[in-house]
Amino acid sequence: MKKLIALMVVALGLASPLVASDPSPLRTLMTSDESRGWEGVGRLNIGAGGLCTGALIADNLVLTAGHCMFDKTTRERVRPEDIQFLAGWRNGRASAYRGVRRAVVHPGFEFAGNDKAARVVNDLAVLELDQPIRKNSVRPFAVHSRPRKGAEVGVVSYARDRADSPALQEMCKVLARQSGALVMSCSVDFGSSGAPVFVVQDGTPAIVSVISAKAMVRDIPVSLGTNLETPLAELLKMLADGDGVFTRSQTVSRPPVSTFGTGAAGPGGAKFLRP
């Protein structure tokens, strides 16, 4: 993806009505009634203190951001056995606790690449759980093609300052679609990496993107999401072909709780932060 930042500035400049429209506020999902239907979104505990968000797309597969699979200090891949998925984590309890058997990151993603804007395009990973989650209350989400510019979307995410319960932003907007990435008005923060971006059709949410980064363009806070269509199909094929195999010796019961945040500065006057 070339000159994404410049394209973002142009797109936002031409889309002033969208920028001016305020997204809905974040709503913390504290109770079982509030979180009903969103239990397939979970918190990812990664390594010694990492925090990301992930979402079920099958009873044994979790979709998240590719950069969540790397240690920010060593830049090395995190081992699958050091990752835990806490489905529907809320107020100290999860609807299901699972370890990770395999993790595949899109081969086009470069964690240490110099072009941080270009990293957004393939910033995607799929985790295979050590056991499927088969509970009526925890259901996988369908995946749809990316929405058009101006479409209303929503995000369910955890973050550094709200790691104990997910938050829902029911309405934000797609400000631009640029070279495989979505530029959105959704509010994200550290820990929101990998959070699913939803559209709701006939009352049913479906995932259309994954949060990769937050950015400032002309003092306007935006979030950046990864395109799912081709990258996700490639990741699922990698799993089917047996890439990234790792066998756990035992399953996970109640993993430790942790919080985490990372940051990076991007070129060209727009500041990119890994949420």
Per-residue pLDDT of 228-258, as tens digits, reads 988 999 999 999 998 554 433 334 444 444 3
CB atoms within 10 A of CB 158: 30
Pick the more confident residue, 52 or 19.
Answer: 52
pLDDT above 90 as % of the chain? 51
Ordered by where they begin, the domains of the chain are: 4-250+260-273 (2.40.10.120)
- State the DSSP string of 44-73: EEETTTEEEEEEEEETTEEEE-GGGGB-TT
Whether residue 218 is predicted with pLDDT greater than 70 in this model: the reply is yes
- Give the pLDDT of residue 73: 87
For the ranges 21-25, 26-30, 90-94, 206-210, the lowest mean pLDDT is seen at: 21-25
- Give the pLDDT of residue 5: 41
For 95-139, write each residue's pLDDT tens digit.
Answer: 999 999 999 999 999 888 777 666 888 999 999 999 999 999 999
Q: Token digits for 83?
A: 């990752």
User: How long a stretch of residues is the chain?
Assistant: 275
Is residue 10 very low, low, confident or very high in pLDDT (cuts 50, 70, 90)?
A: very low
Is residue 193 very low, low, confident or very high in pLDDT (cuts 50, 70, 90)?
A: very high
Q: What is the mean pLDDT of the chain?
A: 81
Mean pLDDT of 205-209: 96
Which ranges constitute the DSSP H helices of 154-242?
229-240
CB atoms within 10 A of CB 202: 5
CB atoms within 10 A of CB 17: 9
- Give the pLDDT of residue 99: 97
* Dihedrals phi, psi of 19, to nearest 5 degrees: -65, -35
pTM across the whole model: 0.82
Quick one: 183 exposed, middle or buried, by C-beta within 10 A (0-12, 13-18, 19+)?
A: buried
- Give the pLDDT of residue 117: 64
CA-nearest of 179, 175, 185 to 13 is: 175
For 140-156, write each residue's pLDDT tens digit.
Answer: 999 998 888 999 999 99
